[in-house]
């Protein structure tokens, strides 16, 4: 993946243009790596690199210096291996039964989060594969994946019996995005106690929020995700450089008289003679429906001709409507593009209006856009 530009659908056939900034992605990685030093900075590229595209994003992160990557699924690991033959790749969601040969063939390291998975990987290594490295996931308070602390203690006692090397001990922070949340310090203390049982094994606790937080959370390796892609990871830290710019095609301009409704459900009524622009994208393209506007609540906005223009009415599957009354008539016309992400509008702005998080907005951006990477 050494190309300068990667495109998907022809621009003239799509409702929007999604521009992905490889330079910003590399700069964000460099900033996080500097923050984490002397710990190694890995890159989390699960969820199709948070919606940006696994292969081109990973190639640029490798060029920026990342050597260790985390995915969620073996199929993501297979895709990643095809473009990064020398990378260290961990599969966060564990060891899928029957997929052991895939981990072997693709040189993937499972993140083992249960006694059953550990026994199965050990048996696979003993039976045919040889000593293949894996990570051990210990739960310190998330109550999701991971060994219970008592199981981790038992594993440490019989570590010499394992048929594979433990390459990494990791856990996952539950509340690091909320400064001063007491659970974070409790998890840190519990993780330190577990790490002490595995001398000589590298340890990893910090996600994006942890990387941007207390250096005590960094240990030997940090695993940033959302911060790499320009999303806000902590309430007290501004987002890094935006990586995504989304521009939506203006299909039509029309006038709406005062008192007339706009869109499905007549959710919003024009309070004045209103000029609206109809944009060719909707919730099928990843624009969250709850970010629409109504008479009771203000929705998201886009930028047109340097002016912030609020949505008017609901977001539908393929279209949104925007109030452009305050934009001079000679500065907006059908065929122009409105900026939905970029120019000061980020994924977290859309998320706030949709009562969700920037992660969901970013990973939901659809496949109907013309996509282009530039560096």
Catalytic site positions = 46, 264
**E strand or H helix at 29:** helix 22-36
Neighbours of 150 (CB within 10 A): 8
- Residue 63 has φ and ψ, to the nearest 5°, of -60, -30
Q: Using omega within 30 degrees of 0 as the cis cutoff, is the peptide bond preceding 38 cis?
A: yes
Asked if 229 and 357 count as a contact pair (C-beta separation under 8 A), the reply is: no
Asked if 194 and 2 count as a contact pair (C-beta separation under 8 A), the reply is: no
Asked if 260 and 269 count as a contact pair (C-beta separation under 8 A), the reply is: yes
- In sequence order, what are the residues at sequence separation of 6 or more whose Cβ sits closer than 8 angstroms to the Cβ of residue 142? 171, 172, 173, 174
Q: How many CA atoms lie within 13 A of 354 on its CB side?
A: 25
d(CA 195, CA 203): 7
Instruction: Point out which residues pair with 308 in neighbouring strands.
Output: 303
């Amino acid at each position: 993946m050494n190309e300068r530009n990667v495109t998907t659908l022809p621009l003239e056939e799509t409702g929007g243009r999604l521009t992905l900034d490889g330079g910003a992605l590399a700069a964000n990685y460099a900033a996080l790596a500097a923050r984490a030093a002397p710990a190694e900075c890995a890159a989390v590229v699960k969820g199709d690199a948070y919606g940006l595209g696994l292969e081109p994003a990973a190639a640029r992160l490798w060029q920026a210096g990342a050597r260790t990557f985390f995915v969620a699924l073996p199929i993501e690991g297979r895709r990643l291996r095809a473009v990064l033959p020398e990378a260290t790749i961990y599969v966060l969601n564990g060891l899928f039964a029957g997929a052991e040969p895939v981990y072997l063939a693709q040189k993937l390291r499972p993140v083992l989060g249960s006694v059953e998975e550990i026994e199965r990987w050990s048996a696979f290594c003993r039976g045919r594969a040889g000593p293949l490295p894996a990570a051990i996931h210990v739960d310190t308070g998330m109550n999701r994946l991971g060994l219970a602390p008592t199981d981790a203690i038992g594993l440490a006692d019989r570590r010499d019996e394992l048929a594979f090397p433990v390459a990494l001990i990791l856990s996952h922070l539950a509340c690091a995005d909320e400064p001063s949340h007491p659970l974070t310090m409790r998890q840190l203390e519990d993780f330190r106690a577990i790490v002490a049982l595995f001398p000589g094994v590298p340890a990893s606790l910090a996600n994006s929020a942890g990387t941007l937080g207390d250096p005590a959370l960094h240990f030997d390796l940090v695993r940033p995700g959302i911060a790499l892609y320009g999303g806000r990871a902590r309430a007290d830290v501004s987002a890094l450089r935006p990586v995504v710019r989304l521009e939506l095609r203006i299909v039509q301009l029309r006038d709406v008289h005062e008192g007339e409704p706009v869109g499905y459900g007549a959710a919003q009524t024009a309070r004045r003679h209103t000029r609206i622009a109809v944009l060719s994208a909707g919730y099928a393209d990843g624009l969250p429906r709850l970010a629409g506007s109504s008479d009771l609540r203000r929705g998201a906005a886009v930028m047109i001709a340097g002016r912030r223009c609020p949505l008017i009415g609901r977001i539908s599957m393929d279209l949104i409507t925007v109030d452009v009354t305050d934009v001079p008539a000679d500065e907006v016309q059908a065929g122009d593009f409105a900026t939905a992400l970029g120019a000061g509008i980020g994924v977290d702005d859309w998320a706030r209006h949709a009562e969700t998080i920037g992660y969901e907005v970013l990973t939901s951006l659809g496949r109907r856009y013309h996509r282009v990477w530039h560096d």
